[in-house]
Structure 1
Amino acid sequence: MVATIAQIHLHPSTKEKLCRILPPEANCHLAPIAAWADQIRNRYRGTAPMHYINGKGDHPQDHCEFGEHGWVNEDVNVVTAIQNFTRAITDGKGGRDVDIPLRFLVHFIGDAHQPLHLAGRLKGGNGAMFLFEGRHRNLHSVWDGGIITKNIRELSNYTSPLPSKQIESALPGAIFDPYIRWIVWEGIRQWWRDDLEEWLSCPSDGDPFPHSSQAAVPPSASTFLKDNFRSVSSLALSLIPGRLAALADLYYGLPLKETEGFEDQALALTPKVLKAKGVNMSFPACPFHWTSGIHQLNCDIVWPAAFTDEPGQALIELDTDEYLGEIGRQKIVERLLAMAGLRLAKVLNEALAEEGSGVGGVYFGYK
């Protein structure tokens, strides 16, 4: 859904470039590639740390630590991945070699806006068991898909097309179309209108990711994909995906084609920009700035205060007014989806813009 919200807000010239970058089966749309990074994750385990970042000592709700004491996965994480793949796309300027960096970037910007991808406690909530709608679910899966699926099921309006070709042409005809309409039409246009400038701004003095390691990532990691990436279409035939996101089956399938001629920079895992104590970033992504605010949600609301990690603790039901009701009243999930989609659109509009074109920011108007 992040990809679809982004698609709505792409500049027409950016959409034209997607047609040249993506395989024909994608129909110039970001949604079919959004789950690709998850599909290859088990096969190419060197990419796994790119989906998350864990601060040392982080243990929400007791205390939230986001880099103050360093990082568990300091060199390869969702922050450095967004940085590196944004750079690869910016340098590529729309050629076919941008395909794979684009697939990664679309997915990782979504991951960066799911709070549990930023918390290390019990593997980002994968090891924290609860009840949700009376069923056993881990906390991560509730936030990855459970809440969204419930919201889609219970939304009774926005089933008819909106008076906006810009919005309607980007919807894939899926069960979540009404949910996207609601988020865009009421959320982005009304509820959060005054917040958009802040969402889309990066710090004027750069995005100082507190990266302290001076050591290079081991060669086995930095050359992992380059040395082992086989035919992606063959991979698709042999791949038996692990646990998929709850809504993954709603996206129409995308045959994964042969991958040839990738530049080393597109597949390298070694951070090339984020080094030492910080960096001035002169391009549109500022992932540390984004994730710093989102991580705080782990202490504010994501982790129930009554959860203790103690063996034998009775499972806590999350489908309550105190927990899920408050998340709904604050529209936290919808807000995160909107933020992620708009930020992805901004990054792509600016990264793929021709020099001097004046294209930038997010394409609003909804005509």
Structure 2
Amino acid sequence: MNFSYLFIILLLFINNVLSYGYVGHQITASIAQKFLLPKVREHVRELLPKNANGNLYPIASWADRVKFTPKYRFTSRMHYITAPRNNPPDSCTVIYTPGKIDVLNAIHNYTNRLDPKSNLDFWSRAEALRFLVHFLGDLHQPLHVAAKFRGGNGAKAIFEGHKTTLHYIWDSRLINKHIRELGYKFTFSDDIANNFYDGPFFEPYVKYIINLMKTVWKQEVAEWAVCNEEVEYIFEKETQELLKPNSILFENNNKQTHFEVNSRREKEKYSLNKKQTSVSCPEFWAVPLNRLNCQIVWKDYIPDTELSEGIYYERIKRTRIVEKLLAITGIRIAAVLNSLLG
């Protein structure tokens, strides 16, 4: 095999690996891992496969890999929610129907199955951890909570000169572009598999997001995981100090626009007044996430147009919406696991 042919294969491999189904889920799990209580980290480690080396992120995309296998085909409908009367950018609604097969009920189900009080066997709880980490990630990709054009899978677009879909742009290409813009360079070394699968290549992006949490968003982070007054989420003492509004960790005078998920106004407007069925509250979180489909995702979308530049992309970049969604997901994964296993 000549070098040019090998190079083409590697490029195809990279394009396949850098997808939200893999990298986005790993990033959220990597962020979550940094906020786990020591006791919870050890509990999670016990439920992880040995080749994960105690890291949460290698299992984050497992649910995508198995959803088309005979054993787990029933889970394919759990990766999204269909919402009648949902027609972004004109209207964005979410209806939570207990017992329906969708991502909201899946999160409740696997939260309860992971609970030590469930008395399920080891593999059932290990399986629940895999699904829970993944479905919490899916929930925070706005097109997983929008039914229009099959969640954007049928919405044709162009991104950086390549024909694609709106769904794949939000699943993959935005994250890929942002990682590249941070200056990450691929290295074709002998341990290429380790470079991709053990996480170092996205760590600069994770550090960038953590820095945003310490600076631009530091007064919001503690509220991201709030469901209601009855649910308490615990973070490590180190993290509590990090998230104090008056803690000065970095100087940053950049006051760029960002969306707010858990402001008092949003809580009052979107409280569903339903009895929580688990320590997580996806039906609450889904509402403002779905509204992003009207505010950003479908706004200014024109079929078969270039979306990696111009007003569409500039709004995404200016608001740091992709980074904030990844950050919120990581915090919520950590909060649910800390509350459940702490």
Fold shared per TM-score above 0.5: yes
For residues 256-335 of structure 1, what are the structure 2 equivalents within 5 Å?
Answer: 279-281=274-276, 283-307=278-302, 315-335=304-324
1:252-279 alpha-carbon deviations (Å, 9 max, x no partner): xxxxxxxxxxxxxxxxxxxxxxxxx974
Displacement after TM superposition at 1:316 (Å): 1.1
1:36-94 alpha-carbon deviations (Å, 9 max, x no partner): 10011112321011100111121111221222xx77x9701111011111111123489
Number of the residue aligned with 1:259: none
Q: Distance in 1 between matches of 2:307 and 2:92?
A: 21
Q: Distance in 2 between matches of 1:5 and 1:94?
A: 28
Contact 2:159–2:169, Cα closer than 8 Å, also in 1: yes
Number of the residue aligned with 2:44: 18
Q: Residue type matched to 1:175 in 2?
A: F
Whose helix proportion is higher, 1 or 2? 2
Contact 2:79–2:102, Cα closer than 8 Å, also in 1: yes
Number of the residue aligned with 2:90: 62
Number of the residue aligned with 2:104: 79
Aligned partner (choices 176, 200, 205) of residue 225 of structure 2: 200
Contact 1:94–1:352, Cα closer than 8 Å, also in 2: no
For residues 210-249 of structure 1, what are the structure 2 equivalents within 5 Å?
Answer: none
Number of the residue aligned with 1:51: 79
Instruction: Tell me how large the CA RMSD over aligned residues is.
Output: 2.5
Contact 2:107–2:136, Cα closer than 8 Å, also in 1: yes
Q: Distance in 2 between matches of 1:14 and 1:192?
A: 25
Displacement after TM superposition at 1:100 (Å): 0.2
Q: Tell me, what secondary structure is at the counterpart of 2:314? A: helix
Displacement after TM superposition at 1:29 (Å): 1.5
Number of the residue aligned with 2:16: none
Aligned partner (choices 126, 143, 152) of residue 99 of structure 1: 126
Aligned partner (choices 165, 175, 178) of residue 151 of structure 1: 178
Unmatched 5+ stretches in structure 1? 158-170, 207-276, 308-313, 354-367
For residues 354-365 of structure 1, what are the structure 2 equivalents within 5 Å?
Answer: none
Q: Percent of aligned positions with the same letter in both sequences?
A: 39
1:108-132 alpha-carbon deviations (Å, 9 max, x no partner): 0000000000000011000101010
Residues 95 and 181 from structure 1, CA distance in 2 versus in 1: closer, same or farther, beyond 3 angstroms?
A: farther
Q: Distance in 2 between matches of 1:205 and 1:14?
A: 21
Q: Distance in 1 between matches of 2:144 and 2:220?
A: 23
Q: Distance in 2 between matches of 1:88 and 1:15?
A: 18
Q: Residue type matched to 2:315 in 1?
A: E
Q: Tell me, what secondary structure is at the counterpart of 1:284? A: coil
Unmatched 5+ stretches in structure 2? 1-26, 185-196, 232-271
Contact 2:58–2:198, Cα closer than 8 Å, also in 1: no
The number of equivalent residue pairs is 262
Q: Residue type matched to 2:281 in 1?
A: C
Aligned partner (choices 188, 195, 200) of residue 213 of structure 2: 188
Say whether 1:122 aligns with 2:149.
yes
Q: Distance in 2 between matches of 1:129 and 1:102?
A: 34
Displacement after TM superposition at 1:19 (Å): 2.2
For residues 171-186 of structure 1, what are the structure 2 equivalents within 5 Å?
Answer: 172-184=198-210, 186=211
Q: Distance in 1 between matches of 2:33 and 2:230?
A: 29
Q: Distance in 2 between matches of 1:172 and 1:328?
A: 27
Contact 1:53–1:77, Cα closer than 8 Å, also in 2: yes
Q: Tell me, what secondary structure is at the counterpart of 2:81? A: coil
Say whether 1:33 aligns with 2:22.
no
Contact 1:284–1:346, Cα closer than 8 Å, also in 2: no
Contact 1:112–1:291, Cα closer than 8 Å, also in 2: yes
TM-score, structure 2 length as denominator? Answer: 0.71
Residues 85 and 74 from structure 1, CA distance in 2 versus in 1: closer, same or farther, beyond 3 angstroms?
A: closer
Once structures 1 and 2 are overlaid, which stretch shifts more, 76-85 or 24-33?
Answer: 24-33
